[in-house]
Amino acid sequence: MAKGDIINNDFHVFTDAYTGRTLTRLTAPEQVNHHPYFYYKMITNDHRYLIYASERNGHRQLYRMELGDGTALQLTDEPGIHDFSCSLTSDDRYLIYCRNHQLIRMDMGTLGEQVFYETEAGWTQTGSPGISSDGRYLLLVEMNDCDLVASKGDWSSFDLQWAKQPHCRIVYVDMEQQTSRIVHEELNCWLGHPQIRPHDPSTLLFCHEGPGDKIDARLWLIQADGTNLRCAKSQTHEELITHEYWLADGSKFAFVYRHQDFKSHESIRFMDPVTMEEEEWMESSMLCHFISNYDNSQIVGDGQLPEQPYIYLIDVQNRREEKLCCHHTSWKSYGNTQDAHPHPAFSPDGSFIIFTSDMEGIPCIYKVDL
């Protein structure tokens, strides 16, 4: 198959046995399909198209699906696509994605491509880059190849990579000017999840990656010029903080907090990046990933425990959680550790949610209307 080819997805509509909600399976359980990482923009502003990845003939490529009838346009056809690391810009004009050591901006009108950054020899891009809300800047983490632990497509290398104490650096890229600079560098620490504050591209959020009971502290902030490095929240080895993200207006970032004594719940918290004031908002089920809608009136998350196999919808103002549907995923790897992670995400207007699950044997993409 080649770039520009059209494939057809046959939708399957069914009722969730637990909640009675209507779900639509957008892809067939014949090959691995999933949407991008949950805090990326994957749905166009008119709700017409979904960006997703599909593995066909042994290769993973990116596609744009028409959500009205399931037809999909193949966007890429070269090896080395980072299938979770792709995002539309806020105006839907470009798709930003990673291929091998390159960062590429694709014009969604012409499918023309521009390589705007290439990682130099001796370094490897790790994790998912962050993109500014105006679509101009990108933030990524690079790791020295000498410290890179080869992945086997499962979680076996996670602790080993942390124990390696890798040399990592954070690079800030101007996609328009095609310039870059190193913002921050650590010789003995695994860095990850770089994110740019919406409407303020000078404020950056990143994490110290690794097992939650071993890292020193997860949440860190720094300015784009490399100044004012600060730990956003200290933690002990009995505490776990994870899957932080910026609210769409940039006013705060959210994260979940767990203590080892919590057996079936955690707390959702918000933090002001200027005052560092922390709000302990509410208790929730054990969510693996979670994200707010456009105005932070709702949060969606995926239950992680075997007894919590649900997509949860949270009413933020009323601090109320409900089970939206069952995701019933196995959390298995299919060549990538994230393949069967639900990673629920809202449409731009919050009218529906997309998530991935292998409830039917192979990871598929599902849609549930709100």
Is 11 inside any structural domain?
Answer: yes
Task: Kindly report the pTM of this predicted structure.
Answer: 0.96
Q: Give me the number of domains the chain comprises.
A: 1
Is 59 inside any structural domain?
Answer: yes
Examine the pLDDT at 64 and tell me if it is beyond 90: yes
**What does the pLDDT read at residue 212?**
87
* Tens digits of residue pLDDT in 304-343: 999 999 999 999 999 999 999 999 999 999 999 999 999 9
The rounded percent of the chain whose pLDDT value lies above 70 is 100
Is 350 inside any structural domain?
Answer: yes
**What does the pLDDT read at residue 82?**
96
Q: Could you give the 3-state DSSP secondary structure of residue 352?
A: strand
Is 105 inside any structural domain?
Answer: yes
> What span, in angstroms and rounded, lies between the C-alpha atoms of 368 and 299?
14
Q: Is the Cα torsion angle 216, 221, 226, 227 positive or negative in sign?
A: negative
**What does the pLDDT read at residue 264?**
82
pLDDT class of 151 with cuts at 50, 70, 90: confident
DSSP β-bridge partners for residue 300: 291, 313
Phi, psi of 284 (to 5 degrees): -145, 170
* Tens digits of residue pLDDT in 161-197: 999 999 999 999 999 999 999 999 999 999 999 999 9
* Tens digits of residue pLDDT in 242-269: 999 999 999 999 999 999 888 788 999 9
**What does the pLDDT read at residue 115?**
97
Whichever domain contains 20, its CATH number is: 2.130.10.10
Mean pLDDT of the chain: 96
Is 138 inside any structural domain?
Answer: no
Mean pLDDT to the nearest integer, 40-54 = 98
Q: Which amino acid is at 6?
A: I
Mean pLDDT to the nearest integer, 61-88 = 97
Domain containing residue 98? 1-118+336-370
Is 1 inside any structural domain?
Answer: yes
Please list the helix, strand and coil fractions of the chain in percent, rounded to the nearest 5, in that order: 5, 50, 50
The rounded percent of the chain whose pLDDT value lies above 90 is 95
Examine the pLDDT at 113 and tell me if it is beyond 90: yes
Which residues contact residue 152 at a Cβ distance below 8 angstroms, ignoring those fewer than 6 apart?
A: none
**The length of the chain, given as a count of residues:** 370
Q: What is the dihedral of CA 21, 358, 55, 87, to 10 degrees?
A: 50
Helix and strand numbers, DSSP H then E, in the chain: 1, 30
Nearest alpha carbon to residue 226 among 209, 206, 241, 212: 206
